[in-house]
Amino acid sequence: MRIRFLRVEPSQRGSPAGRPAPGDTKRADEEDLELPSGACRSFVRLLSTVGLSAGRGWTPVVGALLAFVVHSSIGFFYIYLGFRSFQEDQHAGKPFFTSLFHSNFMGIPQALMYVSVVLSLAVGRRRYSRVMFDLSGVLKELELLPQPATSWLRPNSIGTAMWALTAGLAVSFFATKIHPTLGMCGVTTPPVDAYKESCAGWLALTFGLAFFNISSVAFVAMKFILAGLLLAHGLQLVNGRLEALATAAAATDTATTTDSAAAAAEAGVTSVVATEAGVASADVAEPPLSDEAELRRLGRLHRRLSEVTSSLCSAMSPELTMLIAVGVLSQVMLAALLFSTVQDMGWLLRYLPLAAVSMGGPCETCQQLLNRLDAGRRQLLRLEWHRPQLGGTVGPLLRNIQLDLETVGDLGLFRLRRSTLLSVWSTIATYIIVMAQFKMSETP
């Protein structure tokens, strides 16, 4: 009797189907993402090009190095410019808050933006790449489930929305720079308080500032939005199958009740007693194996989605914390602009979309995840009501969903919810009242 040994190649040992084991960052960086949409894949490649996500080859590494140089140059320049402007206004005898508004809060928002993007370039890019690789594996399995016929939350729509949002932010930023650029290049009369610079230098500063603002604020937020909406899409597919199982169970119960009532009406009281005994025996009967197997498969997929969601929030927690701080401060500055003598509406148009994306985007993404989790919980409760014998399979999945409802979007200091926006706006309203009082006290 001969014993034959099967040789396994090193590339197949990591995990089933040749996929890298969880936490294998090197393998995750070398492999191409298999996202179910070309628009999503191209946007992830854009993130890799600007250094905000690791990827295959030297392009992401070179992009990260170049991004660090550009962010450092532009960031420190505008931080210094804001602090110097504040000092000059104070030496000129201007009121404190007027100097603070005119100097863009002494460059503090740029400092926070710089810290956020440095965190992303240093540690966040590799963590995000690993999360996206795990997410692509789950979505590949979810492609076997029936796709919703009409839904805005589809991979192609998500990727297209990311590109449209990027284009909109770029257009809104450069639209406010047309008039100053024409003035610096001698086409029109430059503004009186404009920064003195040559045409080439002004163009370099403009494009550098655009890259600094969009990549350090919008792209960091859109990284989370892209992954979060893809996770919501996966939960939506799982919920669709759960709804189909619950609907089938409800239809079976309705048919059984109707047949039992008809038989009882024909056979009389004795037949009613027999029918009740038959219904009781039917209730304790074993469910079809296919339903239980399908429920276990959905539970496994849901657990993997839950793990990816937890990894995403943990990986991007430092970046998102700094980003929310930038968003809060930007909205305070936008509100303070109403009480400032510096009526720069271009500044308002440049930073209002960035503040909306940095705060509203992550909060709304987490709200979409919560809505899908709550919908799945309702379908499981409905299925357990009609099929109590499936309680042993439904119970662990319900507990997993309940845990996700408590932890999704938890960044330690706060949780990303729609209610978070309301609390932030109430705080900003308090700041506005205080600033208005100080402004009134400064007015002669």
The end-to-end CA distance of the chain, in Å, is 105
**Is residue 140 pLDDT above 50, yes or no?**
yes
Q: Is the pLDDT of residue 258 over 70?
A: no
pLDDT confidence band for 350 (50 / 70 / 90): low
Question: Would the CA dihedral through 276, 280, 285, 288 be positive or negative?
Answer: positive
d(CA 114, CA 118): 6
pLDDT digits (tens, 9 = 90+) for 385-397: 878 877 788 888 8
Whether 94 and 444 have beta carbons less than 8 Å apart is answered as no
The packing angle between helices 108-119 and 199-213, to 10°, is 60
pLDDT digits (tens, 9 = 90+) for 324-333: 887 777 777 7
Q: What is the model's pLDDT at position 369?
A: 92
pLDDT of residue 374: 92
What is the pLDDT confidence band of residue 273, given thresholds at 50, 70 and 90? very low
pLDDT band at 27 (very low <50, low <70, confident <90, very high): very low
Q: What is the pTM of this model?
A: 0.80
Report the distance separating Cα 82 and Cα 85, nearest Å.
Answer: 5
pLDDT at 264 over 70: no
Task: Tell me how far apart the alpha carbons of residues 254 and 289 are, in angstroms, rounded to a whole number.
Answer: 21
Q: Reply yes or no on whether the pLDDT at 218 is more than 90.
A: no
| % of the chain with per-residue pLDDT over 90 | 12
- Inform me whether the pLDDT recorded for 172 exceeds 80: yes
Domain segments of the chain as ranges: 32-442
Residue 410 gets which letter from DSSP?
Answer: B
Q: How many Å apart are CA 359 and CA 325, to the nearest integer?
A: 9
Q: Distance (Å, rounded) from C-alpha 159 to C-alpha 243?
A: 27
Mean pLDDT confidence for 356-384? 89
- The SS3 of residue 428 is helix
Contact 357, 165 (CB under 8 A): yes
Mean pLDDT of the chain: 76
231 and 369 Cβ atoms separated by less than 8 Å:
yes
